[in-house]
Structure formats: structure tokens, C-alpha cells
């Protein structure tokens, strides 16, 4: 068998943050949901059952929390900051897909969600 890559995924991360264009969004804040997929091309961990060579879920979560604390106007900007931080922290990450969803955008709809997904490669 030849391994061609694997993904590390964190799903349904819920964080309260202060992103948005309108002053009310930045002041009051809202709940956001994040899904992230990191594509890895280093198989050392699969071969030797050792965390070295892979990416720790806890470290990924910590970076997301840090970036979510800094308010931004646009979800696209937050996703870009998260991606940049992941690439900086983990040399073995070759690609990233992030979906950032504002769970209750201020548009008056019931159960309305607004999301942005960005994909990038190193």
C-alpha cells in the first residue's frame, strides 16, 4: 500500500467572538462554528505510531482560539489568518480547508447561518 496523504480534521468547534462589519456585531459578538481540514503528507506517525511528524489536535484548537479572539470585519479575513498561522506552525501541512460559520447573523431569519469556506495549498 502506498499512502498519498491524510487529513486531520476538527469539526463543530463553537467559539463566541466579535467579527462583523456592523458595529453591533463587533460590540455584542456572536457564536461561530468552525470546521477545519489539514492535509498532511508526512507518514512517519502512521508508520511508527508516534505523535512526532503529525499535528496535535490540541495545538490546532489553540491556534483557532487565538485567531478568533482578534475581531475582524470579514469571515474571509479570519479564515486567512487561521490558515497563515497553521502553515507557520506546522511545516507538514500541505493544504487547508476552513469553513467559518456565523451561527446567527443579524439578518432577521430564523435558523439562518452565514458561512465562508476557503481552501489553500502551500
Supply the residues annotated as catalytic. Answer: 102
What sections of the chain are H helices per DSSP? 23-28, 44-48, 57-69, 75-89
Burial 3-30 (b: 16+ CB within 10 A, else e): eeeeebeeeebebebbbbeeeebbeeeb
Q: In what order do the strands lie in the sheet with 6-17?
A: 6-17, 30-40, 93-102, 114-121
3-state secondary structure of 2: coil
Amino acid at each position: 500500500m502506498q499512502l498519498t496523504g491524510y487529513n486531520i480534521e476538527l469539526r463543530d468547534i463553537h467559539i463566541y467572538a466579535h467579527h462583523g462589519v456592523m458595529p453591533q456585531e463587533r460590540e455584542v459578538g456572536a457564536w461561530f462554528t468552525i470546521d477545519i481540514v489539514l492535509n498532511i503528507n508526512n507518514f512517519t506517525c502512521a508508520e511508527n505510531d508516534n505523535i512526532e511528524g503529525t499535528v496535535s489536535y490540541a495545538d490546532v484548537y489553540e491556534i483557532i482560539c487565538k485567531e478568533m479572539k482578534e475581531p475582524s470585519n470579514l469571515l474571509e479575513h479570519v479564515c486567512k489568518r487561521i490558515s497563515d498561522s497553521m502553515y507557520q506552525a506546522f511545516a507538514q501541512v500541505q493544504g487547508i480547508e476552513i469553513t467559518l460559520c456565523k451561527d446567527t447573523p443579524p439578518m432577521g431569519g430564523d435558523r439562518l447561518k452565514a458561512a465562508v469556506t476557503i481552501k489553500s495549498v502551500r
